[in-house]
Amino acid sequence: MTKHVIYWIFAVCLAMGLLLLMIGLADTVPNAGGQPHPEYPGMVIGADGAARLAHIGSLAFLFNSLLLTLVVGLCVLGVSERHRSRKFLAGMGGSWLLMLLIWWMMFSTHQEFLVMGETGYFMGFPIPTAWQMYGTWLGAIPLIVMYSYGFRTFIYTHEDEAEFDALLKHASRSSQQE
């Protein structure tokens, strides 16, 4: 299946393009991109959050879900086909689910705030923003751990190194003969 990962990536990109088009053609909301603060020049306010998401909320949610899928798909593409073991794919699948979970928590807690008008705080920020700030930052850590700790297993094994060294030697011999 991962042999054809480029087709998956292409399908995700096409879907994202389609979503962008749908969002671009959706009913517009005045000042959806913000409006000047009534008192302080240079500041922009968002005002009615619920209205801004009314026509495109679910499309935007889907867009970012696809973006996170694209991120994981690209990381899979970056690993040689022969190293895409079950262990590697399980790690990638886990990373993908974690990032989707963080995105869902951010989006849903924001929706709750828009309905209820109340929020708790975590480490200095309102809960939805804390999911964005700390969650998004930390959500990619499994990918980084897989790269760093799995470097000799998935990215550049000792066999890969030997193969590349042989390639370098061959290239060096060829250039000397020329």
Partner 1 sequence: MEAYRQEIIVGSVVIYMLFCVATGLWAMRRTHDSSDFFVAGRGLGPIVVALALFSSTLSGFGFVGGPGLVYSIGVSSFWMVVISSTGYAVGFFLVAKRIRMIAELRDCLSLPDVVAARYGSDAVRFLIALTIVLGVMGYLATQILAMAVVMQAILSGTETFANIGLVSCVVISSAVLIFYCVTGGIIASVYTDVVQGFIMMIAGSLILMTAVSVFDGGMQEATAIILADDSEAIMPFGSAGVMASLGWFFVFGLGLAGQPHLITKMMMNKKMSDNRSILPMSLFGYVMAALLWISIGIVMRAAVIDGVVEPLALPDDAASTFLSIFANPLLAGVVFAGLFAAIMSTSDAFLNIGTAAIIHDIPKALRGRSVDNELFWARVVTVLLAIVAAGFALYSHYADATLVALLGAFGWGTFAASIFPVVAVGLNWRGATVAGAVTAISAALLINFVVQLAGMVLPYGISGPLVAFVTSMILFIGVSLLTKKPELAPDIEKVLRI
Could you say which residues in the range 5-34 bind partner 1, by CB under 8 A?
Answer: 6, 9-10, 13-14, 16-17, 20, 23-24, 26, 28, 32-34
Residue 139 CB, shortest distance to partner 1, in Å, is: 7
Q: Can you point out the beta strands (E) in the chain? A: 35-36, 44-45, 121-122, 125-126
- 127-146 positions binding partner 1, by CB under 8 A: 128-129, 131-133, 136-141, 143-144
Name which of 30 and 86 has its Cβ closer to partner 1.
30
Name which of 94 and 156 has its Cβ closer to partner 1.
156
Name which of 86 and 96 has its Cβ closer to partner 1.
96
- 63-82 positions binding partner 1, by CB under 8 A: 63-64, 67, 70-71, 74-75, 77-81
The CA distance from 122 to 109, in Å, is 13
- 100-119 positions binding partner 1, by CB under 8 A: 106-107, 110, 113, 119
- One residue of 45, 54, 90, 101 binding partner 1 per CB under 8 A: 45
Residue 111 CB, shortest distance to partner 1, in Å, is: 10
Beta-carbon contacts of 8 under 8 Å, excluding residues fewer than 6 positions away, are 73
* CB burial readout 26-40, b (16+ within 10 A) else e: eeeeeebeeeeeeee
Counting contacts by CB under 8 A, is residue 52 touching partner 1? yes
Its sign, for the CA torsion 171, 172, 173, 176, is positive
SS (H, E, C) 65-112: HHHHHHHHHHHHHCCCHHHCCHHHHHHHHHHHHHHHHHHHHHHHHHHH
Residue 145 CB, shortest distance to partner 1, in Å, is: 9
